[in-house]
Chains A and B, each alone.
Chain A
Amino acid sequence: MIPRPFDYHRPADLPEALRLLGQYGDEARLLAGGHSLLPMMKLRFAAPAHLIDMGLLAELRGISEAGTELRIGAMTTEHDLIASALLQQKCPLLVEGARQISDPQVRYRGTIGGDISHADPGNDHPALMLALDASFVLAGPQGERVMPADGYFVGTFQTLLEPGEILREIRIPVPAPGTGYCYAKLKRKTGDYATAAAAVMLRMQAGTVAMVRIAMTNVAPTAFRAAAAEQHLQGKALDDAAINEAARLVMDQCEPGDDLRGDEAYKRAMAGEMVRRALHTALSRAA
């Protein structure tokens, strides 16, 4: 319950945050919503000497549409995502996903950028980002770079974010009207991380799959995109045989660990079942 002592910094803007991060290096952690970091600090799994609170950085908050992209500030909370009329209309997968993350109080504080940067395989946004073809704007001392979500998650708690960098913004191509979507999440109870979950985006054309994205949560050391299953479905009618084969291909790609949510075999089977359900639901929503 009691974290180790640390020094607290509350920069007023992004340049000051970057400067502090550069100054304190490995000793510092960024504090966003604080709903992964503080719990780890309270259990002393993490004991940073410096916390850099991003809470005043209004420039890192907000949801807007810019040309063909949706742009979401990294400090935008889950609550903001759910309440966003723009996302409800243009990117309902993200709203459906956010509604399944944790609980109301946590969603008032927890941010999309923190969820992504934490890169816990149990977090839901990594798979949602993969399914949405998102990219991430990383601000560093030398300027900014934009990295695609695909390939960004390299291990448990590991991303391509370099020391000294701050995830500033998430960019999502506006899904074409009529795109089917679903986030199917199996969990033991409200607020739990997934036993297995599947994020799907789907466009149909003349009865066959014109575009499909399938990404998985908590059935491997990282969220992953199920490329083999996507390729299998491309150009096919989405009948039960195709869906079952896609689920089988996803299950082949899973590397779940055993824990209190179940053993490896159960999680693999549930990953397949979540893929089946997500594809069926996405198909019913595709126009």
Chain B
Amino acid sequence: MGAKVMVSFTLNGTQADVVVEPRELLIHTLREKCQHTGPHIGCETSHCGACTVDMDGMSVKSCTILTVQAQGSQVKTVEGLAAGGELHALQEAFMQEHALQCGFCTPGMLMRAWRLLQENPDPSEEEIRYWMAGNLCRCTGYQNIVKAVQYAARKLRGEAVETSHPLLEPTAQ
């Protein structure tokens, strides 16, 4: 029982071929076989969302997906967010708006927010809180995460962005 099988999927645009037992969870494959250790494990009851990755246009908790179910899928993790060394608007926003502290929930938060902004480019604060409810954070109290998603949404819409937490007072020229 449980003979290993080969599974092929696209991970951040690159073909990944792994040999797994059917019981292996996608989060373990990503972290242990693909060395993508951005997605984290924060629970075993599918609540925390630290393992969130994007799979075929859905935010999924990769702790509750079998790797065999990812056969033929397009998987995107936080490692695939920055393009050509330039941070994605969401990564910049989380930095500018102080939306992380320990950083453990951040990869899942970023990937969930990434899908949210594809589906709703101009979410209200209430919508951000509702549609990010599958991701727990122990550090931030969520306030700055909401601001960061709003910051990134503005930037992605091509609007001017200004951090609500300037690190330094602007110096008079």
Minimum CB distance partner of B115 in chain A: A104
Minimum CB distance partner of B58 in chain A: A108
User: Inside 8 A of B47's CB, which chain A residues have their CB?
Assistant: 191
- CB of A104 within 8 A of CB of B112, answer yes
Q: Is B65 an interface residue (CB 8 A)?
A: yes
- CB of A109 within 8 A of CB of B23, answer no
Central interface residue in A10, A38, A49, by most chain B CB within 10 Å = A38
User: Inside 8 A of B69's CB, which chain A residues have their CB?
Assistant: 31, 34, 53, 55
- CB of B22 within 8 A of CB of A105, answer no
Stretch at the interface among B1-9, B97-105, B152-160, B165-173: B1-9
* CB-CB under 8 A for A103 and B133, given A5-B1, A8-B22, A35-B46: yes
User: How far, in Å, is A235 (CB) from chain B's closest CB?
Assistant: 39
User: Inside 8 A of B131's CB, which chain A residues have their CB?
Assistant: 104
Q: Which of B66, B112, B133 contacts A191 (CB 8 A)?
A: B133
User: Inside 8 A of B41's CB, which chain A residues have their CB?
Assistant: 1
Minimum CB distance partner of A55 in chain B: B69
Q: Is A79 an interface residue (CB 8 A)?
A: yes
For the complex, give the distance between the alpha carbons of A3 and B49 in Å: 19
* CB-CB under 8 A for A5 and B23, given A38-B66, A43-B44, A104-B131: yes
For the complex, give the distance between the alpha carbons of A42 and B25 in Å: 10
For the complex, give the distance between the alpha carbons of A51 and B69 in Å: 11
- CB of A3 within 8 A of CB of B58, answer no
* CB-CB under 8 A for A105 and B1, given A34-B65, A38-B66: no
- CB of B134 within 8 A of CB of A106, answer yes
For the complex, give the distance between the alpha carbons of A154 and B14 in Å: 49
Q: Which residues of chain B from 1 to 49 have any CB-CB distance to chain A below 8 Å in the complex?
A: 1-3, 5, 21-23, 25, 41, 44-47, 49
For the complex, give the distance between the alpha carbons of A2 and B112 in Å: 25
Q: Which of B3, B61, B71 contacts A105 (CB 8 A)?
A: B61
Minimum CB distance partner of B51 in chain A: A105
Enumerate 18 A-B pairs (CB-CB under 8 Å) in ascending A order: A1-B41, A4-B23, A5-B23, A6-B1, A6-B2, A8-B5, A8-B68, A38-B65, A39-B46, A51-B22, A55-B69, A104-B116, A105-B58, A105-B60, A105-B61, A108-B58, A109-B60, A109-B65
Having A2-B23, A79-B58, one finds 9 other A-B pairs with CB under 8 Å, namely: A1-B44, A8-B5, A8-B68, A35-B46, A42-B25, A102-B134, A103-B49, A106-B46, A108-B59
